[in-house]
């Protein structure tokens, strides 16, 4: 008899270092064996994306796509329902998200890249039901990211999906047997849970060491914490400190002009004593690939003004090809987005149907087909 509580001795949380080690080992193997990997990641459609998203995740996705790795991107529209009431903004946000994806270079018209929505892949959502039996309530309540989100949103009346969406996320990843999940650090608890669900499913339902699901590995991005132009808070659209991917060159210049620096004229890279200046140097470094120290040296006595000029140019150069692609897409925006989702949803449905069938077989429930 299977124990009633699915949490066993393996429930001890792994460390960040362990996750990082696994992530780095996998990164090396991409070049040798891209065909072994299937990437799944995604975003909630809560608004347009900014350069924090770009450096933290989107750039990575495009690079992996270019290595020949099959790429699934879920637009997690059901997850939006966990922490906000309004649904009227969702369609516009979905559209904006698809445009951001295409403008950074995700090739949704290719055979290898698929962009789809939660709400349009019924079989994916069905994985959730057996998965919920593999997770303990304690595990859900302890999830640090969920706790933070509840606090940040100031929720007093928390709905059940807020606690179960990490299990839904496991369904997002496992329905296509994704084994690479590029995510920021905040998503690691969800990845750890996904790995446990895969392991527990295989152990509980598969015979003779067989398995239905792989244990996916989080690919941790190299620039996990990107601060906004204020140099204090995380970059975010709602804090008004973000450079949006869709911003024009002039808007970008305006925004950088308002960024915080300090009174010292000579520019130096000192994250401890000069966090705002250091942040602008780091952002510049992300754009150009040069070390922040080297950039500081170049700017020298040109002061905060010089630094801002440098950053504006670095951003606008980096964003130029994205803007060009976006301009083309915007000519027939609605039709483009519609076609991307139609193709992506259709492919995701075919994959999800197949996995669901395999799962039913493992659970001895493949009658009636
Ligand atoms: N939870 C993620 C977020 O809030 C979005 C997401 C949903 C996701 N499903 C996913 C990320 C699967 C990676 C893999 O941003």
Do 93 and 242 fall within a single domain? no
Q: Find out whether 165 and 79 touch, Cβ atoms under 8 Å.
A: yes
Residues 79 and 155 in one domain: yes
Q: Is the pLDDT of residue 8 over 80?
A: no
- Compute the distance from residue 265 Cα to the ligand 1 centre, in Å: 42
Q: If pLDDT is split at 50, 70 and 90, which confidence band does 9 have? A: very low
43 Cβ closer than 6 Å to some ligand 1 atom: yes
State which residues form the domain around 96.
16-223+332-362
Whether 231 is covered by a domain: the verdict is no
Predicted confidence at residue 97, as pLDDT, reads: 97
Which among 42, 143, 182 is the best mutation to test ligand 1's pocket, defined by most ligand atoms within 8 Å of the CB?
42
Q: Residue 264 sits in a domain of what CATH number?
A: 1.10.240.10
Which secondary-structure segment (H or E) carries 276? Answer: helix 275-288
Residue 188 Cβ inside 6 Å of ligand 1? The answer reads: no
Same domain membership, residue 87 and residue 52: yes
Residue with the smallest CA separation from ligand 1 atom 9 is 169
CA 41 to ligand 1 centroid distance, Å = 6
Would the pLDDT of 119 be above 50? Answer: yes
Write the DSSP string, 160-204: HHHHHHHHHHHHHHHTTT--EEEE-GGGHHHHHHHHHHHHHHHHH
For 327-331, what is the mean pLDDT?
A: 94
The answer to whether residue 10 is domain-embedded is no
pLDDT of residue 2: 47
Measured in Å, residue 228 CA sits from the centre of ligand 1 at: 22
| pTM score of the predicted model | 0.92
Mean pLDDT of the 147-163 span: 92
Q: Is 181 in the pocket of ligand 1 (CB under 6 A)?
A: yes
pLDDT higher than threshold 70 for residue 171 = yes
Distance CA 334, CA 21 (A): 42
Task: Give 148 or 236, the one with higher predicted confidence.
Answer: 148
Return the minimum-mean-pLDDT range out of 9-18, 71-80, 293-302. 9-18
Same-domain check for residues 86 and 132: yes
Q: How many whole angstroms from 270 Cα to the centroid of ligand 1?
A: 34
Find the 157 Cα to ligand 1 centroid distance in Å: 22
Give, using CA atoms, the residue closest to atom 2 of ligand 1: 43
Q: Which residue has the higher pLDDT, 236 or 39?
A: 39
Flag whether 3 is in a domain: no
Asked if 54 and 185 sit in the same domain, the reply is: yes
Q: What pLDDT score does 34 carry?
A: 93
Q: How far apart are CA 207 and CA 237, in angstroms?
A: 49
The whole-number pLDDT of residue 3 equals: 47
Is the pLDDT at 224 greater than 80? The verdict is no
Domain total of the chain: 2
Characterize the bridge pairing of strands 70-75 and 217-220.
Answer: unpaired
Report the pLDDT value the prediction gives residue 334, as an integer from 0 to 100: 96
Do 186 and 258 belong together in one domain? no
pLDDT at residue 14, as a whole number: 77
Domain membership of residue 229 (yes or no) is no
Residue 8 lies in a domain: no
CA-nearest residue for atom 5, ligand 1, is 43
Q: Are residues 157 and 296 in the same domain?
A: no
Is residue 225's pLDDT more than 80?
A: no
- The answer to whether residue 367 is domain-embedded is no
252, 345: one domain: no
Residue 218 belongs to domain with CATH number? 3.40.50.620
Instruction: Say if 368 falls within a structural domain.
Output: no
Q: Model confidence over 254-308: pLDDT tens digits? A: 999 999 999 999 999 999 999 999 999 999 999 999 999 999 999 999 999 999 9
Residue 4 pLDDT exceeds 60: no
Q: Which atom of ligand 1 is nearest to the CA of 183?
A: 13
Share of the chain above pLDDT 70, in %: 96
Tens of pLDDT along 174-216? Answer: 999 999 999 888 899 999 999 999 999 999 999 988 999 999 9
Contacts of 180 (CB under 8 A, 6+ apart): 26, 37, 38, 39, 40, 64, 69, 216, 217, 219
Number of other CB atoms surrounding residue 53 within 10 Å: 22
Q: Indicate if 319 and 339 belong to the same structural domain.
A: no
What band does 12 get if pLDDT is binned at 50, 70 and 90?
low
**What does the alpha-carbon distance between residue 45 and residue 81 come to, in Å, rounded to a whole number?**
11
Asked if residue 352 belongs to a domain, the reply is yes
Q: Is residue 299 located within the same domain as residue 195?
A: no
CA of 169 to the centre of ligand 1 (A): 6
* Predicted local confidence at residue 1, as pLDDT: 45
Together in a domain, 42 and 107: yes
Q: Are residues 307 and 183 in the same domain?
A: no
């Amino acid at each position: 008899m299977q124990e009633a509580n699915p949490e066993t001795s393996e429930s001890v949380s792994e460390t960040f270092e362990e996750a990082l080690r696994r992530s780095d080992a996998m990164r090396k193997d991409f070049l040798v064996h891209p065909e072994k990997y299937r990437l799944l990641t995604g975003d909630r459609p809560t608004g347009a994306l900014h350069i924090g998203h770009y450096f933290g995740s989107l750039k990575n996705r495009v690079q992996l796509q270019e290595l020949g790795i099959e790429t699934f991107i879920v637009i997690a529209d059901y997850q939006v329902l966990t922490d906000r009431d309004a649904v009227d903004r969702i369609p516009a946000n979905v559209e904006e998200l698809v445009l951001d994806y295409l403008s950074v270079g995700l090739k949704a018209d290719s055979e290898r890249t698929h962009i789809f929505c939660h709400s349009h892949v019924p079989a994916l959502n069905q994985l959730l039901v057996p998965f919920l039996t593999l997770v303990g309530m304690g595990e859900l309540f302890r999830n640090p990211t969920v706790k933070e989100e509840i606090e940040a949103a100031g929720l007093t009346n928390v709905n059940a999906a807020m606690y179960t969406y990490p299990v839904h996320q496991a369904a997002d990843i496992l329905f296509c047997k994704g084994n690479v999940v590029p995510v920021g650090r905040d998503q690691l608890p969800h990845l750890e849970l996904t790995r446990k669900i895969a392991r527990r499913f295989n152990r509980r339902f598969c015979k003779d060491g067989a398995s239905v699901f792989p244990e996916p590995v989080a690919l941790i991005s190299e620039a996990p914490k990107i601060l906004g132009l204020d140099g204090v808070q995380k970059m975010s659209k709602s804090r008004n400190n973000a450079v949006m991917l869709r911003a024009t060159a002039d808007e970008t210049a305006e925004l950088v002009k308002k960024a915080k620096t300090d009174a010292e004229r000579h520019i130096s890279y000192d994250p401890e004593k000069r966090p705002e200046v250091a942040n602008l140097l780091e952002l510049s470094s992300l754009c150009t690939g040069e070390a922040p120290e080297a950039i500081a040296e170049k700017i020298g006595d040109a002061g905060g003004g010089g630094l801002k000029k440098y950053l504006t140019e670095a951003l606008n150069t980096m964003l130029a090809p994205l803007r060009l692609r976006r301009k083309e897409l915007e000519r027939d925006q609605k039709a483009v987005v519609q076609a991307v989702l139609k193709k992506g949803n259709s492919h995701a449905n075919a994959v999800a149907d197949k996995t669901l069938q395999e799962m039913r077989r493992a659970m001895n429930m493949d009658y009636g087909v």
